[in-house]
Amino acid sequence: MSISLVKGGRINLTKGGDLKKVRVGLGWNPNGTDTGAEFDLDATAFVCSVDAAGNSKMLADEYMVFYNNKVSPDGAVKHSGDNRTGGGEGDDETIVVDLTKINPAAAEVSFIVTIDEAIARKQNFGQVSASYIKLYNDETGAELAKYSLEDDFSTETAVQFGSLVLKDGHWIFKAVGTGYSKGLADFVVVYGGNLA
């Protein structure tokens, strides 16, 4: 049975011990607003370590998994590829995390969605509807949880949907739902990556 999460909600994914692969499905629909350009949202996973103060830092630049780097070096995080329109039924982009393969230094996988060329195209999340994140047991296909974003965003160009966080030996999904006026390059800097 799927659980409906709210902002700040959490679900323990590995307490039962049988979940090995979690699939994160991201979906959205552009509103009818015509900006004169395609509305291209991009899902990215940042695989991070977390220091004693709670600060997250990417393990290495190659641990930023997105449409242009579809697999992490440890083979644990895989991106489905770029969906440039958000059209059609079901999840628009998916990211699979194999918890049995993930780098032992990893303590967080953060899921960010940005709007490609948002400033140039005059686009923001106020023009997006029906956005959600779903968690599945990738081996069985069973939906574990769904987090629907409310209409909380107007000028933001990026949203941190949620994070997988390792706590006391268990992977927990935390629904974050925080909007930012940033682009993908800004998040690379936030997570300690190198833009060169």
pLDDT tens digit string along 139-170?
Answer: 999 999 998 876 667 788 888 889 999 998 89
pLDDT, tens digit (0-9, with 9 covering 90-100), for 54-68: 899 999 999 999 988
According to the model, what pLDDT value does residue 119 have?
80
Instruction: Tell whether 104 is covered by a domain.
Output: yes
Structure token pair of residue 27: 């979906």
| Rounded Cα–Cα distance for residues 114 and 124 (Å) | 9
Residue 181 resides in a domain: yes
Q: Are 21 and 99 in contact (CB under 8 A)?
A: yes
The predicted structure's pLDDT at residue 76: 97
pLDDT of residue 86: 47
Helix (H, G, I), strand (E, B) or coil at 63: helix
Q: What is the DSSP string of 77-88?
A: EEE----SS--S
Write down the pLDDT at residue 105.
Answer: 96
Residue 32 has pLDDT above 70, yes or no: no
Residue 110 lies in a domain: yes
Write down the pTM of the prediction: 0.88
Any idea which of 8-22, 107-121, 140-154 has the lowest mean pLDDT? 140-154
Domain range holding 144?
3-190
Taking only the tens place, the pLDDT of each residue in 85-104 is 445 567 888 999 999 999 99
Q: What CA dihedral angle connects 68, 72, 9 and 31, to 10 degrees?
A: 10
Residue pLDDT, tens place only, 18-28 = 789 999 998 87
What is the arithmetic mean of pLDDT over 29-33? 65
* pLDDT cut 70: percent of the chain above it: 88
Question: What is the spatial distance between Cα 69 and Cα 175, in angstroms, rounded to a whole number?
Answer: 24
What is the enclosing helix (H) or strand (E) of 46?
strand 41-50
pLDDT over 80 at 130, yes or no:
no
Identify the residue with better confidence: 38 or 169: 169
In a domain, 195, yes or no: no
Q: Is residue 92 part of a domain?
A: yes
The answer to whether position 21 is within a domain reads yes
Whether 19 is in a domain gets the answer yes
Dig out the tokens for 84 from the structure.
Answer: 């440039």
Tally of structural domains, the chain: 1
> Which pair of structure tokens corresponds to residue 51?
């220091």
Closest CA relative to residue 175, chosen from 145, 151, 153: 145
The residues, ordered by sequence, that sit 6+ positions from 160 with a Cβ below 8 Å of its Cβ are 110, 111, 112, 176, 177, 178, 180
Residue 196 domain flag: no
CATH number at residue 13: 2.60.60.30
